[in-house]
Amino acid sequence: MSDDATTVLVSAARRRRRLRRVLRAALFTATALLLGAVGAFAAGYAVWEVPDPRAVATGTQQSIVLQYSDGTEMTRIVPGTGNRTMIGSLDEVSPAMRQATLAAEDASFYSNGGFDVLGIVRAAYAQVTNSPGGGSTLTQQYIKLATGEDEHSYTRKFKEIVLAAKMTNEQPKDEIFKAYLNTAYYGRGAWGVHAAANAYFGKPPRDLDASEAAVLAGVVQKPTENDPRVNAAQAAKRWEYVAGQMLANHMITGEQRRRMAVPETRERFAWRGEEMSGPLFHIRERVLEELERDGLTARDLHRDGNTVVTNIDRDAQRAAEETVAAMAEGRSQNLRSALVSIEPGTGAIRAYHSGDRRIGGFDWARAAQPPGAAMQPFVVAAGLMRGHGLAETYDGTSPQEIMGATYRNSGVDCSSTCTARMAMAEAAETAFVNMAARFGPAAVLDAAQRAGMRVDTGDDERRVGLGIATGDYPVSTVDLARAYATLAAGGADHEPRFVRRVLDRTGNEVRSFEPEPRTAFGDDPEASRDVAGNVTESLRRSAWGTSWALDGRRPVAVKSGIAQFGGSPDKALTAWTAGYTPQIATAVSLSASDERGRPQPVVDATSSQAGDALTGPTWQRFMNAYLADEPVEPFPDFGPVGRYAEPSGVPFPPVSTSVPPPPRVDR
């Protein structure tokens, strides 16, 4: 045999020996891991106790305390009387409700061993990739609900699996199902299916039909967001999923599915008979909704007896309620008002008036309504983002046909060479329409969205028209206040937040929420600052022609807007005033509706005046009250964009010159 052949044989033998060593090591490791897992499972099985549903019920009756930003108490969310009635048997729950629950959460419940191997693999993958997902059985979900342990960890998941297996071995499936139905949190302060059936439909659980059951089975996943009275679109999507799962698992027939429809639910918390002002009620609702998005449900908060420190300023909230009440005093009861005040640079909501004095009434601060000329700063921003400066000229004459439609100015006519500054000061609508025609309506929409506004453009935002420049597309008061706060913060956008931090029962902080700024007008913070600063300058000049200057000669940027009712120039559908100083941005909106919710013209009942004759003084009084003890601060510095200098003889002072306020006039 040659030396080469001998070398080959020796090398092959070495590889086989190495492979055998690797296999032995792998087998030993796998055996050790398996024995370790079995040992840990056995130890956990022996030590850990399955939570009793009645003990769980007792432990979830803690009040949640909501505080103002200064730590004084705003309100308490107290578990309602009788909201934890336990069902004694599954016979107390309609077959439809049982089927919907299994369809939504665990269709194999009656055949599985308490946990799902594939579900465990999915959960492990989600843990490794830090992605949403999982596959918990209904038994595992009961364990998670009952123990209150829902952190994203292998240890928690292992304990959940052990207790689910133990519960399955020791208790009949019907008892486990009953425990889940008695423990699940359905939102609206309702624990257990008995309270949930009452909270949503005013009936016992045995009377729930398939459509109603699909609502309740769906809300457990996200008790606030899936509530039809909070987010109708999200709730309908979840309802469709549950109904589809019922059909897919042969719990209902195709004909039964076709007859199902999303049912009407009761007003939130109507079942608990709470007494509270409308604005305070809606603040509470927004706080709970925000925390749920952050992973803290009302169930968690009640279980732990948490205190929630909000961003709401006590004095500012009082001023908001007083100024809005003054606006409504002696006037028609059909007026619907809202006021939202946001701190630039943090997104902290300092005051929130939802416009409805009734508990459970409609939250007008979140209602999307046409903002009229209050949208025009973002027309200017769209041009600035493309290098069109404040001194660039547009045709501001009236009337004028633009792209096939006739437009008229509601303010003073501007010239055929109207600059952006002049257009803002004179409220020359035709000039803004010409700006939108030059930049493109999509550019205006983009600027508004970048500032933080969600603009309702219907089904297809790609078809947005020139009406974006006249404020025809609806936005909410919250979003308009946010967008103006973005301008005040030098082009830095912040998500509006109600909650500052969450404390445990001993006062220790368990969660805090720090602002996360986003550069609004492009990727360059300096360029975004320049866009915002130029828009602010145009709004400061527009304040010349109003009566809404503030005390103390404060630099202020403000804009009013009116959306026409039915195209009539003499009637207002909505009226707005929005503006800001470096410290605070506030938007005030006003609309009207009859008892059936149908829109009505906004009219001052004491005269024929409408529009900013009401919202302007309200905005001014609130801002003066808020800023009474605050120092006078300048707006941030910025650099000119595009053509900046006005033609000779145009009465606009340089940026460095403070703008004297006009005479104060009460309308």
> CA-to-CA distance for 323 and 36, rounded, in angstroms?
68
> Does the pLDDT of residue 605 top 70, yes or no?
no
Nearest Cα residue to 552 out of 656, 657, 636, 664? 664
Q: What is residue 546's predicted lDDT score, i.e. its pLDDT?
A: 62
Highest mean pLDDT among 72-76, 357-361, 476-480, 545-549: 476-480
Q: Residues 6 or more apart from 533 whose CB is under 8 A from it?
A: 490, 491, 635, 636, 637, 638, 639
Q: What is residue 606's predicted lDDT score, i.e. its pLDDT?
A: 40
Residue-wise pLDDT for 503-551, tens only, equals 988 889 999 998 899 999 989 999 999 999 999 999 986 665 567 788 8
534: tokens are 């130029």
Q: Report the DSSP pairing between strands 568-580 and 499-503.
A: unpaired
Nearest Cα residue to 323 out of 624, 627, 637, 102? 624
- Bridge partners of 349? 342
364: tokens are 């007008």
CB neighbourhood size of 256 (10 A): 15
Please, are residues 392 and 371 in contact by the beta-carbon 8 Å criterion? no
- Bridge partners of 557? 580
Q: What is residue 659's predicted lDDT score, i.e. its pLDDT?
A: 38
> CA-to-CA distance for 561 and 465, rounded, in angstroms?
19
The whole-number average pLDDT for the span 11-27 is 62
Among the ranges given (176-190, 520-534, 600-614), the one the predictor scored with the smallest mean pLDDT: 600-614
The whole-number average pLDDT for the span 244-263 is 95
> CA-to-CA distance for 301 and 238, rounded, in angstroms?
24
Q: What is residue 252's predicted lDDT score, i.e. its pLDDT?
A: 94
The whole-number average pLDDT for the span 463-476 is 91
pLDDT category at 650 given cuts 50, 70, 90 is low
Percentage of residues in the chain with pLDDT exceeding 90?
Answer: 44
Q: Taking the model in full, what pTM does it have?
A: 0.74
Place of tokens 């500032």: 451
pLDDT category at 450 given cuts 50, 70, 90 is very high
566: tokens are 């039915």
Place of tokens 């004028």: 400
> Does the pLDDT of residue 172 top 70, yes or no?
yes
pLDDT averaged over every residue in the chain: 81
Q: What is residue 241's predicted lDDT score, i.e. its pLDDT?
A: 95
Helix residue ranges per DSSP H, 48-172 = 53-59, 95-105, 117-129, 138-147, 154-170
> Does the pLDDT of residue 117 top 60, yes or no?
no
> Does the pLDDT of residue 657 top 50, yes or no?
no
Q: In what order do the strands lie in the sheet with 307-310?
A: 73-77, 64-67, 307-310, 499-503, 509-512
Q: What angle do CA 565, 568, 572 make, to 5 degrees?
A: 40
DSSP sequence for 328-380: HTTS-TTEEEEEEEE-TTT-BEEEEE-S--STT---GGG--B--GGGGHHHHH
Please, are residues 513 and 501 in contact by the beta-carbon 8 Å criterion? yes
- Bridge partners of 64? 77
Residue-wise pLDDT for 402-415, tens only, equals 888 888 887 677 88
Percentage of residues in the chain with pLDDT exceeding 70?
Answer: 75
Higher confidence at residue 651 or residue 422? 422
Highest mean pLDDT among 6-15, 17-26, 614-623: 614-623
Compute the Cα dihedral for 15, 21, 23, 25 and give only its sign.
negative
pLDDT category at 269 given cuts 50, 70, 90 is confident
Nearest Cα residue to 114 out of 35, 25, 175? 175
Q: What is residue 628's predicted lDDT score, i.e. its pLDDT?
A: 94
Residue-wise pLDDT for 41-60, tens only, equals 455 555 455 666 666 666 55
pLDDT category at 454 given cuts 50, 70, 90 is very high
Please, are residues 403 and 466 in contact by the beta-carbon 8 Å criterion? yes
Q: What is residue 334's predicted lDDT score, i.e. its pLDDT?
A: 74
Helix residue ranges per DSSP H, 172-231 = 173-183, 192-201, 210-219
Q: What is residue 286's predicted lDDT score, i.e. its pLDDT?
A: 93
Higher confidence at residue 662 or residue 61? 61
Residue 445 belongs to what H/E stretch? helix 441-450
The whole-number average pLDDT for the span 131-138 is 59
pLDDT category at 263 given cuts 50, 70, 90 is very high
Higher confidence at residue 619 or residue 158? 619
CB neighbourhood size of 433 (10 A): 26
Place of tokens 């933080």: 452
Taking each helix axis from N to C terminus, what angle separates 138-147 and 173-183, rounded to the nearest 10 degrees?
A: 50
Higher confidence at residue 536 or residue 280? 536
Q: Residues 6 or more apart from 94 whose CB is under 8 A from it?
A: 205, 206, 207, 208, 209, 213
The whole-number average pLDDT for the span 77-100 is 80
Higher confidence at residue 388 or residue 570? 388
Q: What is residue 92's predicted lDDT score, i.e. its pLDDT?
A: 92
> CA-to-CA distance for 363 and 246, rounded, in angstroms?
34
Q: What angle do CA 370, 375, 379 make, to 5 degrees?
A: 140
pLDDT category at 432 given cuts 50, 70, 90 is very high
> CA-to-CA distance for 158 and 147, rounded, in angstroms?
13
> Does the pLDDT of residue 76 top 70, yes or no?
yes
666: tokens are 């009460």
Please, are residues 456 and 473 in contact by the beta-carbon 8 Å criterion? yes
